[in-house]
Amino acid sequence: MTLAVTGPNVVEQLAGRIDERIEVIDLGLAVSSGLQAVLERVSSEYIFRRIERGARQALAASDHPFDIAHLNRPVFARSVSRFARKTVAGAWFYPPGLRARVSATWSHNDGSAIRRSMMLVRNVERLYGDVVGYRLCDGVVAPTQTLVGRLRESGLDAYVCPPPGHVVAAPDGPVEAREDGAPPRLLVVCGDLLHPRKNVAAAVAAAAAVAAKRGGAVLTLVGRNGERFAESAAGRADGLDLMLTGPLPAADVHALMRATRCSSRASMRNGGTQEPRARSAARPSSPCPCTRSRTSSPEGSA
């Protein structure tokens, strides 16, 4: 097996963490800086083409053709498919149509019109790259049967492949019971609570709706920028007792899952690794989609 990575910094991170039988190919892409970093913030297509150039050069010198090439983004099929007999891409969610993508991107991003326009350009480029890439692939693998069904409805050869969930063992003992009359405890986990694509504010609004019906609720927010997020979402947190933890180790997050009524994974991905982790903690989990599209809806909600 051969694993192609973007640059030497990734190679260092993988050292000692993967099977020594896996050959790692360095695409030779240095960490972006200066004008290049600015261009990457403005254009997804610029990033794609930069990676594709590195892939073509590195794979041309490798022992190809490969039997199967698995891509983490379907857009890379444009350059990688020539080096493999079969090309498969992973699909976390199927991108909605152009009109839905434009509407959702504009409405779910804060800031000035210039900033929103930049995000819009990046998202439309990603949409186009994904759609083109899917059509160039021989197959698509997705983490849930629901997503596979939607991909097949679009004429794609899709297969279900649940993601591996590496779960830290939970502490011994039963799941903590909620006292009668006590407010429900809810949990939101996100790397960066202010990330514009995560739409954490919608999860807070949903928790506030629960609080309105239950006479209050405790909402724990795990992630960076908690205080700044709490200030920006103050108007949507009526009836909530907010608890900010900052970033936490995985074991602590799992412990919080076991002590809450429901957790929300702040992601537009349909499925993902947090679902089996939440189930291992004996608690329901629901995604908080970032786009107003039925293709981002969860298979089940708590």
Which three-class secondary structure string do you get for the chain?
A: CEEEECCHHHHHHHCCCCCCCCEEEECCCCCCCHHHHHHHHHCHHHHHHHHHHHHHHHHHCCCCCEEEEEECCHHHHHHHHHHEEEEEEECCCCCCCHHHHHHHHHHCCCCCHHHHHHHHHHHHHHHHHHHHHHHHCCEEEECCHHHHHHHHHCCCCEEECCCCCCCCCCCCCCCCCCCCCCCCEEEEEEEECCCCCCCHHHHHHHHHHHHHHHCCEEEEEEEECHHHHHHHCHHHCCCEEEEECCCCCHHHHHHHHHCCCEEEECCCCCCCCHHHHHHHCCCCEEECCCCCCHHHCCCCCC
> Phi and psi dihedrals of 217, rounded to 5?
-160, 155
Cβ 201 vs Cβ 230: under 8 Å: no
Tens digit of each residue's pLDDT (9 = 90 or more) over 232-285: 877 777 888 989 999 998 888 888 888 776 666 555 443 444 454 554 444 555
Write down the pLDDT at residue 273.
Answer: 46
* pTM greater than the 0.95 cutoff: no
Write down the pLDDT at residue 70.
Answer: 92
Structural domains in the chain, sorted by start: 32-160 (no CATH), 185-296 (3.40.50.2000)
Write down the pLDDT at residue 139.
Answer: 93
Q: How far apart are CA 275 and CA 271, in angstroms?
A: 7
Q: Which residues of the chain have pLDDT under 70?
A: 31-32, 93-96, 108-110, 164-181, 196-197, 261-302
Write down the pLDDT at residue 71.
Answer: 92
Q: How far apart are CA 132 and CA 74, in angstroms?
A: 8
Q: How far apart are CA 5 and CA 43, in angstroms?
A: 21
Write down the pLDDT at residue 159.
Answer: 92
Write down the pLDDT at residue 169.
Answer: 53
> Phi and psi dihedrals of 97, rounded to 5?
-65, 170
Write down the pLDDT at residue 86.
Answer: 94
What's the CA dihedral at 54, 115, 293, 257 to 10 degrees?
A: 80
Q: How far apart are CA 208 and CA 251, in angstroms?
A: 27
**1-8 long-range contacts, CB within 8 A, separation 24+:** 2/62, 2/66, 4/55, 4/58, 4/59, 6/51, 6/54, 7/31
